[in-house]
Homo-oligomer: A and B are copies of this chain.
Amino acid sequence: MTDDRTTGPEAPELIWLRPERTGRGPRPAHSRDSIAAAAVAIADAEGLDAASMRRVAAALGAGTMSLYNYVPKKEQLLDLMLDAVVGEYDLPAEPSGDPRDDLHLLLRQQLAALRRHTWVPRLVIGRPSLGPNGLRYTEYFLACLAGTDLSGAAKMEAMALLNGFLCQYAEWEHTTAAGGRWQADLVVYLQRVVVSGEYPQLAQAMAGGPAAEPPAPDAVFDRTLHRLISAVLTPEGPAPRV
């Protein structure tokens, strides 16, 4: 059988493989949920870098090293934080039956969550996030695609693709909306680049300026998402040429 030991050098690096409670010893004073909530609150208020082990432990009223009884590595604290955000999603009991609508609504809800927690996109790159809430999310996403003729692998790819786009969009929105010194410098820089004349394509592409699209705030997101969903739902054609 597999070894269930959770301490020592052969302890699993994946926190979801560790039982939250072993039954021996004193009752733990904190839960994974409360730890994750404290870390998320700090990251929301002061940025991801502020969510250090010391700060989170202090927010819980615990000594720094006590936190390591619950979260053996910082990386696993990040896993807990991500799963806590996914837990905020309000998933319908079951999909409506229209994959396009279901996915669009789902991704829209995720965008709202990512606007509350702007540090998520930087974290989610290359991190599966398959905790309890992540599993529920995955299950719902796959259920949305149950009526299609996509293969299992194609469904997983679709989830990765749409979530990747989501994070990319949310991060872009966050950095451009942040304002501040960096953005002002960037504008100055791009103006100089454009007037230099050395980059005609770029100058032409930026000719319209970013001032021509204020009407619908989320139009770009909705339109691109709509296209991606269509692309993803298209049955697999023949292999491309290249």
Contact = CB atoms under 8 A, between A and B. Distances in A.
Interface string A137-163: 011001100100001110111001100
Nearest to A151: B208
A228 B231 contact: yes
Contacts of A14: 182, 185-186, 189
A128 B206 CA distance: 15
Interface string A209-242: 0001100000110111011101110101001101
Contact of A201 (B12, B142, B239): B142
Given A14-B189, A126-B122, A236-B223, A143 B181 contact: no
Interface in A149-179: 151-153, 155-157, 160-161, 164-165, 167-168, 171-172, 174-175
Contact of A122 (B125, B135, B186, B236): B125
A50 interface: no
What copy number does this chain have within its complex?
A: 2
Contacts of A152: 204-208
Interface of A: 2, 12-14, 16-17, 101, 104-105, 108, 121-122, 125-126, 128, 130, 135, 138-139, 142-143, 146, 151-153, 155-157, 160-161, 164-165, 167-168, 171-172, 174-175, 181-182, 185-186, 188-190, 193, 198-202, 204-208, 212-213, 219-220, 222-224, 226-228, 230-232, 234, 236, 239-240, 242
